[in-house]
A and B are shown apart, each in its own frame.
Chain A
Amino acid sequence: MGTVALSETKTMLTLPGDAVRQIQWRFADRFDLQMLVQSARGVARGTVARLVAAGERNTHEWTPAKSEMLEAFDRAGLTAVFMEPEEGGFITGPKNLALALAAFELAWVDGGAATASLAGFLALSPIHERGTQEQITHYKTLAAPPQPGEDRKPWRGAFVLTEPIPYVGVDTGMLNGKMRVAEWKDGEEPWLQVDKRGRFITNIAFANFVTAAVNSDDPRIKGSCFVILEETDEGIFDHGTPTKKLVHQLSSTGDPIFNLKVPASRIVGGYTVKDGVIVPNFNHGEVIEAVFRRTRVPVGVMTAAKLLSAVEPVIRYQRERFRGAEGTKPGTVRYEQGIQQREDALHRLVDVWAAGEAATSLGFAAARLFDTLDPLEKQKSAILKDRGIQGGRAEMKALKESEQRAIELLSNPDAPRRAELEADPLVDFVLKDAEANVICPATKLWNTGHGANMMREAVSLMGGYGITEDCPGFLANKWMDAQLEATYEGPEAVQRRQLTVTMTSEVFLAQFRAWTIAMRRIASDRPGTGACTLASAMQLWLWTLNYLQKATDPGGNKLYHGQRQGVTFALADALCWLLASRCQILDVLELEARGADDPVAAEGLAGTVQFLSDLCHTQAAQAAGEVSRICGELVFGYNQHPAWADEAHKGCFLASELEEYEETMPGITAFAVDVLAADGAHPPKAGPCAGCAGASEFLRLQNKLTTCLSGSRLAKDRAAETVSKVMIPEALDYPA
């Protein structure tokens, strides 16, 4: 026979396919989401890829060709993802994972396309989250694509928060939109005059309506709110000039101007009139909180998708690098393996791949969490309402008791009230809420920030080719795009700021402790996953947080303080590494547990699990290294280094003393580092070595962490070998 015989192997056979991913990312039982993935993939690798390949990114303007992409979204059902079935959608229930999956597929080819898709949802989000039922039904129905037999164009929306023009001294916390009462006849609805200038507004070129944040400029209106503006409203609805972005050119961005007269019923969430004053039911801050909390997650998933999308083109490039060259004949190692003969090329790709896996796992975990949290949040509000408790602060106060119950549940697994606590929806809510408050900014921060760095690494693996328009997979575009993803919907500093507050919540820290214990248990059963390394890093991070919350600098100033971002932000960065690595490990365990039930995933499952575990181990080691470096710097970096001139040198040995000691303790001289000569001369260094007073436990934990890295490079070697052997398709499934 003209074929080779198959041998038994535990190497991953092919790049992980849909069956594997559906299990890892927990939508194997959701055919609605599986269909969405296929739809989004078809648009991404068809319409979107052709636009990019044809150079449509080379213009800032919104073009007819770019508009075709929106129509492709409509036809494929992507526009309807956000809608309920009765509004023209096809997915019932929370849609955070759905949106994240669609964003993942689109960003696999182009981040701008994903942004264009998400921005429409962003415009509807204030209405969806806080709008009146009438507003929700009206605008979501208008925005839904036409059903068969319908002849209408779906409305497109834009979200207009505030982007003050730089360098004009405007505080980013301020809203630059104003509203006044334009007309208010007795017994009739008031009319508002809205004046708003937007900057860097996505989807604006083709928006039929916007949801805009505005402040009151009239004593008859209280505070701020979101208001819906339509392009046919009386006044000016100027879509503005396109922003000259260097990235994401498949999404429209511009600086619009609005001066419109609208009825007060356009206030998102409605209003009440108290003592002759219009009081919006939700101020703009309450709306933003509800919106951004969810929409930031798909942005993080977008950058993660790019990292994973880079794997196949890089492998193909590496393997085929020398083919066609004179002297490189088929059958030779140089021909067959190309650059993959070199360990460095393989190891660097393993790093990119591992980061992509971790980022994707983190992002989808966050999306799933919000899917669980959404109904819980409604349940929580209903329960509290029944108790006569409504509003932000009153609810927070009322939930304090639930927080204590949640901590009790986590801290004492054998609590007699365990069953009662587990069944308490408010306890469940505070647990998930605390986690969401951390995992959302972590996804946005780490996926986009570290993702951008790793995309640069992916580009570098393609050599000079990587930075050209011809690079398969559009890697250079994806690298630059990642920088915008790190910025929009709240730049990195905003995410870090949020983390510094939410990661110190007692409920979150109680969960973090429980996760650390769970990682040790996982490590006991699955030592190859890096779970033990991660658990040690988690312990070190937690110790450092506790230490820094009490410690002061030599000037007596607190180290863990809102204004001390050198401490708090760094610790937030470290936490993100841990969270991503943890989610990555959990996803591989899920695959291992359930993969055998799916005949497709079961094929070669052992090899796939082994490889993905090796990536986990590699990533856990990276995370551990980052945490160790950051924590070490924070714990010791704020101590004054001893100087030869100060009191500290009195603790040093004198040379003459050592000679005497040597008689009774032979060998002591070898251990003495800081020795002063009789004339006061000292070794040539900054000062006596610093001690570790108060931080010896840190050193113990850090030392343990270092030894916990054992095996991580062996895992990387194994992963690299798989990368050199795994079967890839003959060609990329989208044009370059």
Chain B
Amino acid sequence: MANVLHIVVCAGIVPDPLQTLEPVTGPAGPGLKNEMVLPAVLDPWAASALYEAAALAAKNPGSKLWLVSLGPKAKLQQVMMTVAQKIAFELVPIDGPIGGFPDAHSTAAVLAETIAALPGLDKAKLLLFGGWESATRGAGVTLQLVGERLGIIDQFQGVDQIDLRDDGSFEVLERVEGGKHQVSVCAGTPAVLGWATGNLAEPRNNPQTGMANMRTIMPALQKAKPTTLAPNGLRYVSVALPKQQRTTRVVKDLTPDEIAAELVEWIGAE
């Protein structure tokens, strides 16, 4: 028996990972050099959450799917030209600042307030999805904070799978150490699920889906109200990119067994 779900996916936009990312200090604090003009993508882990949400909604007729995203609406619009072709959803844009440095509490407050005000949203049926943290940046706590503000106490992080049961309960697989999953059963919605990669491939583009989505996305973007995020006294002492590590050795004539043994030893050391 299908359950009617109200799935809200929180997903930010980030610079395309192939771009040159160079931390700089601007008038508003730390940021990435030229971030506004760098091509952006939907945060990869949050994108996994979106695709899982779409699959779940499709399996449960009558369900609704919202994508709540905070960022400059012009950048959101550019990203939607790709994302909107993949699955059907209703975009709820929040015209806010770009970057990975705003305070997570302020961000969560805006997101929670927006979600709570979604017309037609039944919080009893709510599954709040997002990336368990940003795949490229972020405090790793925003989604949890949104859940807390919405009063949702069942939270799962590093999720790779959800199996909904007929009675409305669901089984969740969360990543734990050692490449294993922790299996939990939740009695039912509402719940927060911070996704890892999930199991689904990225849906292919379908311009007709995109055209249908755009009928609501473009007006929503036009109506998106500018939002500022309170700094809450947040101050960054230092910002740096992770150092690139390359310890290449050129070794010839190793057997596959020797290579495997070395890899196992290296993984063990990590």
Contact = CB atoms under 8 A, between A and B. Distances in A.
A35 B34 contact: no
B60 to A, nearest CB: 18
A598 B34 CA distance: 15
Contacts of B19: 729-730
Nearest to B36: A603
B34 A600 contact: no
Contacts, number: 117
A586 interface: no
A603 B37 contact: yes
B243 to A, nearest CB: 12
Interface stretch (A3-11, A135-143, A648-656, A665-673): A3-11
Contacts of A604: 34, 37
Nearest to B240: A2
Interface centre among A5, A36, A38 (most CB of B within 10 A): A38
Nearest to B30: A3
A90 interface: yes
B148 interface: no
Given A4-B25, A90-B211, A727-B20, A42 B205 contact: yes
Contacts of A6: 24-26, 33
A598 B76 CA distance: 12
B34 A733 contact: no
Interface stretch (A14-22, A504-512, A679-687): A14-22
A596 to B, nearest CB: 12
B24 A80 contact: no
A35 B81 contact: yes
A19 B78 contact: yes
B25 A35 contact: no
B82 interface: yes
Contacts of A31: 81, 214, 218
Contacts of B38: 14, 17
B188 interface: no
A39 interface: yes
A35 B26 CA distance: 32
A727 B239 CA distance: 20
Given A3-B239, A31-B218, A729-B19, A90 B37 contact: no
A14 B18 contact: no
Interface string B59-86: 0000000000000111100100110110
A64 interface: no
A729 B20 contact: yes
Contacts of B85: 35, 38-39, 77
A14 B37 contact: yes
A696 B16 CA distance: 59
Contacts of A731: 18
B239 A38 contact: no
A1 B30 contact: yes
A348 interface: no
A733 B211 CA distance: 26
Contacts of B16: 729, 733
Interface residues on A, range: 35 or more
Nearest to B211: A90
A38 B37 contact: no
A308 to B, nearest CB: 15
A600 B37 contact: yes
A39 B26 CA distance: 34
Contacts of B82: 35, 38-39, 42
Contacts of A76: 204-205, 207
A196 B171 CA distance: 65
Contacts of A598: 74
Interface in B201-220: 204-208, 210-211, 214, 218
B251 interface: no
A599 interface: yes
A14 B81 contact: no
A438 B84 CA distance: 39
A208 interface: no
Contact of A730 (B18, B34, B39, B78): B18
A93 to B, nearest CB: 13
A17 B204 contact: no
B214 A1 contact: no
B99 interface: no
A5 B22 CA distance: 11
Contacts of B24: 3-6
A241 interface: no
Interface string A25-47: 00000011011111100100000
B26 A18 contact: no
A263 to B, nearest CB: 34
B237 interface: yes
Contacts of A37: 81
A728 interface: yes
Contacts of B75: 599-600
A2 B34 contact: no
B247 interface: no
B266 interface: no
B36 A600 contact: yes
B207 A36 contact: yes
A331 to B, nearest CB: 16
Contact of A13 (B37, B206, B207): B37
A75 interface: yes
Interface string A589-625: 0000000001110011000000000000000000000
Q: Counting chain A CB atoms within 10 Å of each CB, which of B25, B30, B81 scores highest?
A: B81
Contacts of A603: 34, 36-37
A2 B23 CA distance: 8
A239 to B, nearest CB: 29
Contacts of B236: 1
Contacts of A18: 39, 78
B238 interface: yes
A17 B237 contact: no
A535 to B, nearest CB: 33
B238 A77 contact: no
Contacts of A32: 207, 211, 214
Contact of B208 (A5, A90, A730): A90
A717 to B, nearest CB: 23
B26 A90 contact: no
16 contacts: A5-B25, A6-B33, A18-B78, A32-B214, A35-B85, A35-B211, A38-B81, A39-B85, A76-B205, A599-B73, A600-B36, A603-B36, A604-B34, A727-B20, A729-B20, A733-B18
Given A3-B30, A729-B16, 13 more contacts: A1-B236, A3-B23, A18-B39, A36-B207, A38-B85, A42-B205, A77-B85, A147-B208, A598-B74, A599-B75, A600-B74, A600-B78, A730-B19
Q: Which 6 A-B pairs have the closest CB atoms?
A: A77-B207, A603-B36, A599-B74, A38-B82, A3-B23, A13-B34
Interface of A: 1-6, 13-14, 17-19, 31-32, 34-39, 42, 75-77, 80, 90, 147, 598-600, 603-604, 727-733
